[in-house]
């Protein structure tokens, strides 16, 4: 569609009529030059008439662009958007270091592993599916990084022991361990009476698997009197996210383990960091369709936070909302419960959690009230 001439001229006219200082302030506030306001009603039109003509008579129909746009974006992020400019500080910190990243074939783990490898680290890629890790390794190689594939099912304790032993034989030690692999389940306790296995499997991967790997690598770190363990936790641990009791409990267990371990290994110059990640747009949250409409971090945001942990070596990293949630629960627990209860009521369970086979996507689209609530509490799991 053709945009009205008045709208096309709007940005330029507005920009020309205002003092430079005012234009600068407005541009800073909206995060973009004033000239973009003239394109505020622009619509992109995707014409698939040639594809439809080619497919005529085959029974194959072209999907709506909104149905496959996310797949195009995912492909862009994973295979084409591989450029990264590491800081001089990061290069100095990780060049030649052996860094092991679990869950390295997608999401946070993939982006973190790629960026660290580009910065000069020797990155060990760990995940369950070898073919996905090989794909990740090829991408990292194209970006100029060095990485190594070590497939492992991180709920199999013996497999973890074998993988860790092979890593130590091949490299002698691990400088930085990033426990990123995780499993999330969004289901209320009242909907979980016949699903105790949800609690078992989240604990197996998120807690037992991470602890087993730490214990396999810790003796070498202790002997060398050097090492850094970074555990990816969740904002839900600080905010007590409803519907995530299985997931949050497993992450809270790892959090408590890390805090206890930290004091024990301090004398051996081993640092620990827990990162309370907010909601990140990764394959892990993809099944919850309503998350397509709420604010989330990108894998790049999350990877930057992991890199900050490597550079600064803090005890923990949390968002402002996560910290506020923890403080509010300590000081005003009933207020905290009230807010979370409102969110629990406002955001419905998935059709699968309710035991329904109805896949009507309309139920997954948020109301204005849900959008406002999600934006006020950015990054929280609902």
Tell me the pLDDT tens digit for each residue of 228-239: 999 999 998 998
31 with 105, same domain: the answer is no
Average pLDDT over the chain, rounded to an integer: 83
Give the confidence band of 1 by pLDDT, cuts at 50, 70, 90.
very low
Rounded to two decimals, the pTM is 0.75
In the β-sheet with 316-318, what is the strand arrangement from edge to edge? 146-149, 122-126, 98-102, 176-179, 227-234, 270-277, 316-318
Angle (deg, nearest 10), helices 210-224 and 245-265: 10
Residues in the chain: 382
24 with 100, same domain: the answer is no
227 with 300, same domain: the answer is yes
Q: What is the pLDDT of residues 164-173, one digit of tens each?
A: 999 999 999 9
Between 147 and 284, residue with greater pLDDT:
147
Range of the domain at 122: 87-324
**Mind telling me the catalytic residues?**
247
Structure tokens at 162: 């074998």
98 with 172, same domain: the answer is yes
Residues forming a β-bridge with 379: none
Q: Where are the beta strands (DSSP E) in the chain?
A: 98-102, 122-126, 146-149, 176-179, 227-234, 270-277, 316-318
Q: What is the pLDDT of residues 189-208, one digit of tens each?
A: 888 888 999 999 999 999 99
Query: Which position has the token pair 């945001």?
Result: 301
Query: How many domains are there within the chain?
Result: 2
Q: Dihedrals φ, ψ of 105, to 5°?
A: -95, -5
Q: Assess if residue 378 is contained within a domain.
A: no
- Indicate the residue among 282, 306, 324 that finishes a domain: 324
22 with 139, same domain: the answer is no
Q: 31: left (phi > 0), else alpha (psi -120 to 50), else beta?
A: left
Give CA–CA dist 181/363, Å, rounded: 30
Give CA–CA dist 23/34, Å, rounded: 7
18 with 120, same domain: the answer is no
CATH code for the domain in which residue 133 is found = 3.40.50.720
């Amino acid at each position: 569609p053709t945009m009205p001439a008045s709208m096309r001229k709007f940005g330029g006219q507005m920009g020309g009529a205002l003092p430079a200082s005012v234009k600068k302030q407005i541009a800073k506030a909206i995060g973009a030059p004033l000239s973009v306001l003239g394109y505020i009603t622009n619509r992109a039109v995707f014409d698939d008439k040639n594809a439809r003509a080619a497919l005529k008579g085959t029974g194959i129909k072209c999907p709506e662009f909104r149905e496959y746009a996310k797949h195009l974006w995912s492909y862009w992020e994973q295979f084409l958007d591989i450029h990264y400019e590491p800081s001089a500080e990061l290069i100095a910190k990780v060049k030649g270091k052996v860094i092991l990243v679990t869950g390295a074939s997608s999401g946070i783990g993939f982006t973190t592993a790629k960026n660290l490898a580009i910065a000069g680290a020797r990155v060990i890629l760990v995940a369950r599916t070898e073919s996905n890790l090989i794909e990740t390794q090829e991408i990292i190689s194209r970006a100029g990084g060095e990485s190594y594939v070590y497939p492992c099912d991180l709920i199999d304790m013996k497999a973890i022991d074998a993988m860790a032993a092979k890593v130590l034989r091949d490299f002698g030690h691990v400088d930085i361990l990033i426990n990123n692999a995780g499993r999330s389940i969004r289901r209320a306790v009242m909907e979980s009476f016949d699903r105790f296995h949800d609690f078992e499997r989240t604990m197996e991967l998120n807690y037992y698997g991470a602890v087993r790997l730490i214990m396999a690598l810790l003796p070498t770190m202790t002997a060398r009197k050097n090492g850094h363990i970074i555990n990816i936790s969740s904002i839900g641990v600080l905010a007590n996210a409803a519907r995530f009791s299985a997931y949050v409990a497993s992450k809270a267990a790892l959090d408590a383990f890390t805090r206890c371990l930290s004091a024990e290994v301090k004398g051996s110059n081993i640092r620990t960091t827990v990162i309370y990640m907010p909601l990140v747009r990764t394959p892990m949250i993809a099944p919850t369709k309503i998350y397509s409409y709420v604010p989330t971090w990108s894998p790049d945001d999350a990877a930057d936070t992991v890199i900050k942990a490597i550079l600064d070596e803090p005890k923990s990293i949390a968002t402002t909302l996560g910290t506020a949630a923890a403080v509010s629960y300590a000081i005003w627990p009933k207020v905290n419960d009230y807010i979370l209860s409102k969110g629990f009521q406002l955001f419905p369970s998935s059709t699968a959690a309710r035991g329904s086979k109805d896949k009507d996507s309309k139920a997954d689209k948020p109301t204005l009230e849900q959008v406002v609530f999600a934006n006020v509490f950015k990054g929280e799991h609902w």
